[in-house]
């Protein structure tokens, strides 16, 4: 099915990206998964090809293109067969550098955004504290002001790119007594190598290629140069950008389930039991048809959200609905696809099994399904 939201430039970008992923990513996925690391060289190559920060101003190295290019990127990355890599790049492109672009001064953009566009630097966003994830306003990572310096203390967890990122956008309380508490949150840029900053890589059940880390701040000295935007405005910036984040994660979810569906169709047409292929058995044919239908429904909804969001419409309700639907869909499709693969579907060496553990993350990151439903409930007047 073709969709009219994309122009020939968008489709040209899609073709270039597909070719790049087929040549530079697909052959190396297993190596990256085993090493628990994405090599630096791929970030540099992506930067050279214009696959990083393409929506940002050419003054800082971007291409100044519209947000629908992000959608194409997310869908194709979802279909590359490595969700860990896809999520790492999405965090860099759509979830962290966005704050430098939206809130940064000219000087801050030159210093931190430009190297993220060339791929010299990798970026992360650290919101989640060990004691507060969904409830962002309750984070306790905080700063004390000493003269013109901010002294940062606290801990973050589950941070994508958190161990290898060069630049980390950190949400911290600059006013612990603010009422309501979310008014006390500010955003800072913390550079790798800052004295007092350390991190520990976490072992996950999936998405192994991407590094996910705990980050510790022990009297990290920051100045006003590190503050993004105004003090106390961090929460609003986070809530604003979370819409893009949820849209992109949903589209990656649609991409990865399409990939799983394609693999499942191929397998069902080859595997025989009781003298016929699995695809000839009606119960399995229908299961696969249901998978294809639900992916198509979610894709149509996602594209509609993407087109409206690119026009600047405020569609918090719809994007929350999309994230909740896709978060649940990926898990259902992962379950059905592994079932159709039988015992092979449970073997880590089978792609579908690996992707099943990868997609489990999608109903959690960027806001859980329950939190999406709470947002929707408020929006529909409950
Ligand atoms: C792979 C991965 C990558 C991640 N990357 C990042 C990152 O780069 N940066 C970052 O800052 N964070 C990141 N996270 C953290 C992620 O955003 C949080 O895990 C998520 O927001 C949930 O927060 P929590 O883990 O503290 O769960 P909690 O908030 O403790 O929630 C636990 C459970 O309670 C439910 N719950 C909570 N409140 C309510 C409510 N009001 N009503 C109903 N149910 C509720 C939740 O839905 C969930 O099921 C990542 C997480 C994962 C798994």
Per-residue confidence (pLDDT) for residue 1, from 0 to 100: 58
Residue whose Cα lies nearest atom 23 of ligand 1: it is 133
Using a 6 Å cutoff on CB, does residue 363 contact ligand 1? no
What is 137-150 written as a DSSP string?
Answer: GG---EEEEETTEE
Residue appearing with tokens 């955004």:
113
Rg (alpha carbons) of the chain, rounded to whole number = 21
99 touches ligand 1 (CB under 6 Å): no
Please check whether residue 91 is in contact with residue 125, taking contact to mean a CB–CB distance below 8 angstroms. Answer: yes
User: With contact defined as beta carbons under 8 Å apart, do 198 and 192 qualify?
Assistant: no
Is the CB of 281 within 6 Å of ligand 1?
A: no
pLDDT of residue 2: 64
| pLDDT confidence of residue 346 | 97
Give the domains, in start order, of the chain with CATH numbers: 8-122 (1.10.540.10), 125-232 (2.40.110.10), 236-379 (1.20.140.10)
pLDDT confidence of residue 3: 74
Cβ proximity of 303 and 346 under 8 Å: no
HEC-encoded secondary structure of 203-214 = CCCCCCCCCEEE
Q: Is the CB of 374 under 6 A from ligand 1?
A: yes
The finding on whether 365 has its CB within 6 A of some atom of ligand 1 is yes
Task: Using the mean position of ligand 1's atoms as its centre, give its distance from the Cα of residue 275 in Å.
Answer: 47
Centre of ligand 1 to C-alpha 365, Å, is 6
Nearest to 133 by CA among 346, 322, 335, 365: 365
Give the angle 284-289-292 at the CA atoms, nearest 5°.
130
> How far is the centre of ligand 1, averaged over its atoms, from the C-alpha of 140 (Å)?
16
Joined together, the tokens standing for residue 98 give: 């966005």
Instruction: For residue 180, say if its preceding peptide bond is cis, omega within 30 degrees of 0.
Output: yes
The answer to whether the CB of 91 is under 6 A from ligand 1 is yes
Among protein residues, the one with the nearest Cα to ligand 1's atom 40 is 371
Nearest residue (by CA) to ligand 1, atom 45, is 370
Q: What integer pLDDT is reported at residue 309 of this predicted model? A: 96
Q: Full-prediction pTM beyond 0.75?
A: yes
Residues annotated as part of the active site:
245
Q: Which residues of the chain register pLDDT less than 50?
A: none
Q: Counting atoms of ligand 1 from 1, which one is nearest the CA of 128? A: 11
From the CA of 146, how far away is ligand 1's center (Å)?
A: 32
CA distances from 142 to 92, 148, 173, 208, 371 (A): 24, 16, 4, 30, 24
Please tell me the distance between residue 153's alpha carbon and the centre of ligand 1 in angstroms.
Answer: 21
Pocket test for ligand 1, best of 133, 330, 372 (most atoms within 8 A of CB): 133
SS3 for 263?
helix
Q: Is the CB of 159 under 6 A from ligand 1?
A: yes
Q: Is 367 in the pocket of ligand 1 (CB under 6 A)?
A: yes
pLDDT value, residue 4 = 85
CA 335 to chain centre: 22
CA of 186 to the centre of ligand 1 (A): 20
């Amino acid at each position: 099915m073709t969709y009219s939201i994309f122009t020939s430039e968008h489709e040209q970008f899609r073709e270039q990206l597909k070719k790049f992923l087929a040549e530079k990513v697909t052959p190396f996925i297993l190596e990256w998964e085993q090493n628990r690391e994405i090599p630096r060289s791929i970030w540099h190559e992506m930067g050279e090809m214009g696959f990083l920060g393409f929506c940002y101003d050419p003054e800082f190295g971007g291409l100044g293109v519209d947000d629908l290019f992000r959608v194409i990127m997310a869908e194709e990355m979802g279909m590359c067969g490595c969700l860990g890599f896809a999520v790492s790049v999405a965090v860099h492109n759509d979830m962290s550098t966005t704050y430098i672009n939206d809130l940064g001064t000219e000087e801050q953009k030159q210093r931190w955004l430009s190297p993220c566009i060339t791929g010299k630097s990798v970026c992360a966003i650290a919101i989640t504290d060990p004691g507060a994830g969904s409830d962002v306003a309750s984070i306790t990572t905080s700063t004390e002001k000493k003269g013109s310096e901010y002294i940062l203390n606290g801990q973050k967890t589950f941070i994508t790119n958190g161990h290898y990122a060069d630049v980390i956008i950190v949400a911290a309380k600059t006013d612990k007594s603010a009422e309501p508490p979310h008014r006390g949150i500010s955003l800072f840029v913390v550079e790798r190598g800052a004295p007092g900053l350390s991190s520990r890589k976490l072992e996950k059940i999936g998405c192994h290629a991407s590094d996910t880390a705990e980050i510790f701040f022990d009297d990290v000295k920051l100045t006003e140069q590190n503050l993004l935007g105004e003090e106390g405005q961090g929460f609003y910036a986070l809530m604003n950008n979370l819409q893009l984040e949820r849209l992109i994660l949903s589209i990656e979810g649609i991409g990865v389930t399409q990939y799983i569906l394609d693999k499942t169709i191929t397998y069902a047409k080859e595997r025989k039991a009781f003298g016929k292929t699995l695809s000839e058995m009606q119960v399995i044919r229908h299961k696969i048809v249901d998978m294809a239908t639900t992916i198509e429904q979610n894709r149509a909804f996602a594209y509609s959200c993407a087109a409206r969001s690119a026009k600047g419409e405020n569609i918090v309700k719809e994007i929350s609905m999309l994230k909740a639907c896709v978060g649940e869909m990926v898990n259902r499709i992962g379950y059905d696809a592994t079932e159709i693969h039988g015992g092979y579907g449970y073997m880590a060496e089978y792609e579908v099994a690996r992707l099943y553990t990868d997609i489990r993350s999608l109903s959690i990151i960027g806001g859980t399904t329950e939190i999406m439903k709470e947002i929707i409930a408020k929006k529909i007047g409950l």
